[in-house]
Structure 1
Amino acid sequence: MKHVTTVIDIPATPEQVWATLVDTAAYPAWNPFITKLSGELAHGQRLDVRIAPPGGRTMTFKPTVTCVEAGRRLEWLGSVGVRGIFDGRHTFTLEALGDEGTRLTQSEEFSGLLVPFTGTVLARTRAGFEAMNEGLRRRVVAGARA
């Protein structure tokens, strides 16, 4: 099993961050990593997700939502091919920082037979998470000022 975790502090409330995170129709306007996300963000629902990792090829997959705690946590589980070959559990966690804003942690836990051969994939995933985090921060801050 391998993990990728990124963290960013956003000067806004968890509710403001959550509202932007779950407004998936707006992703093409600000999200350089997850360029498409459609489907209902509800437990057990399948999503249609397209990612564009920096320096990598665009990939589409259909994960299943495993956790939704409004304003706090969103999680899905996806697989490339058959389950157990290359699986990823993607998690967004929001933590209130009082007057400081919100801490967003974005992580992925990879498992499956192909994980030992995914070094460059993990590096590109980290770069994609960081780009998405920064895009989210900018979008939330711009919305908070409007």
Structure 2
Amino acid sequence: MKEIRTEIVIKASPVKIWKILTNFERYPTWNPFIISIQGTLAAGNIIQVELAPPDAKRMKMKPRVLRVIPNQEFRWLGRILIPGIFDGEHIFELRDNKNETTTVIQREIFTGILVPFLKKLLDDNTRRGFESMNSELKKICEANSEGIPGN
């Protein structure tokens, strides 16, 4: 097992951040890491996700949404080929700090027989992808009242 965990404090409510995180149509305008999500965010649904890790090959996958708690959390489970080869549970958590800020935690738990062979890629490229997405999310949320690029 391998976990990557990043977090960032954003001067915005969980409601505002949730609105931006779940507006998948806008991802190409601001998100450097998860450049595309298609599908409906509801537990049990299959969505289509395209990732662009820094200095690595783009990846497309079709994870299953595991949990959706509005304004708090969503997570999905993606797999390469069959269960146990390389599985990744991607998690977004929003924690209201009760001081007009929210801590956004983005993490992923990787399991499967390929994890030891991909450890360096995960520690470097994937972590940088999480951090760049977090940074851009913070900029958008704090830049304007709607949190929508171009407004």
Q: Are the equivalent residues in 2 in contact too, given 1:10–1:101 (CA < 8 A)?
A: yes
RMSD of aligned alpha carbons: 1.1
Per-residue deviation at 1:99? 1.8
Give 4+ residue runs of structure 1 displaced > 4 Å after superposition: none
Q: Where in structure 1 are there 5+ consecutive unaligned residues?
A: none
Alignment partner of 1:30 is 2:30: yes
The corresponding residue for 1:86 is 86
Report percent identity of matched pairs.
41
Between the two proteins, the alignment pairs up a number of residues equal to: 146
Q: Where in structure 2 are there 5+ consecutive unaligned residues?
A: none
Q: Secondary structure at the match of 1:144?
A: coil
Alpha-carbon separation, structure 1, partners of 2:57 and 2:81: 16
Q: Deviations over 1:61-107 (max 9, x none)?
A: 00000000000000000001212100000000000011241000000
Alpha-carbon separation, structure 1, partners of 2:91 and 2:144: 23
The corresponding residue for 2:61 is 61
The corresponding residue for 1:130 is 131
The corresponding residue for 2:15 is 15
Q: Are the equivalent residues in 2 in contact too, given 1:46–1:63 (CA < 8 A)?
A: yes
After TM superposition, list the pairs within 5 Å mapping 1:90-105 onto structure 2: 90-105=90-105
Deviates more, 1:87-96 or 1:131-140: 131-140
TM-score by length of 2: 0.93
